[in-house]
Amino acid sequence: LQNFILKLFLRAIRLSGQSPVHSAADGGQADCLTLLIQKGYDVNALLEKHISENYDDMRKTALFFAVSNGDVTCSELLLAAGARTDLDPLRCILVAVRAERYALVQLLLSYGAEVNCYFRVISNTVFPTALQYCLRDQVMLRLLLNSGYQAYKCFQCCHGNSEEMESTWADLHNQVYQIYCQPKIISVRTASILSVVDNSLSLPTNLDF
């Protein structure tokens, strides 16, 4: 009977579309979360699609709930139990950066969160996302830079995937290099253009009024 009840309970969880871990993290119930972790509940369980779509950020993990609530205690419990930081479309670290949660950012980084991540669900731009969230926050920016943030990617903003971005940047660099290595060609072309402009602007001297 106990096994039967357990199977029914697990089936009810699947049908509900979310795990008790999600509920505990969302409610900030650290004691309940600790108990669930001790009982072997999966800290990386994902919300079902029909539940996730109810949120604008399309969150999926219990860690996302804890981070978005600014709950350091529940976040640390989940991370210590093996919660991953890269399962949500909008990474947890970006949520913490945008909310100016310094302690959470440090905590996530200490558990291996990728500082150079992008949010590319609504756009294929690969401009560093975290930078957009902390342009006016020197403390947060310093924290990210000290953690290996690649600020130089701000100058490689192209659309498409990362491979396309790198190749496009290389092509642009080569084009500029070739132009500046051929000053004579530039001078001739410039002189020709100026000559045409000068001729078009010169007025005839034999006009009858």
Where b means 16+ CB within 10 Å and e means fewer, 193-206 reads eeeeeeeeeeeeee
Identify the bridge partners of residue 159 per DSSP, sorted by sequence position: 125
Q: For residue 113, what pLDDT is reported?
A: 94
22 with 64: CB under 8 angstroms?
A: no
Q: What are phi and psi of 139, to 5 degrees?
A: -65, -45
What average pLDDT score do residues 190-203 get? 44
Instruction: For residues 76 and 39, give the distance between their C-alpha atoms in angstroms, rounded to a whole number.
Output: 17
Q: For residue 122, what pLDDT is reported?
A: 53
Cβ within 8 Å of residue 128, ≥6 positions away: 116, 118, 149, 150, 151, 153, 154
Q: For residue 11, what pLDDT is reported?
A: 74
Mean pLDDT (the chain) is 76
| Tokens 């990386």 -> residue | 44
What average pLDDT score do residues 57-69 get? 96
Which percentage of the chain shows pLDDT scores above 70? 64
Instruction: For residues 128 and 112, give the distance between their C-alpha atoms in angstroms, rounded to a whole number.
Output: 18
Q: From the centroid of its chain, how far is CA 33?
A: 27
pTM for the predicted model, two decimal places: 0.68
What average pLDDT score do residues 43-53 get? 93
Task: Write out the CATH class of domain 2-114.
Answer: mainly alpha
- pLDDT tens string 112-139: 999 888 776 655 666 677 877 887 888 9
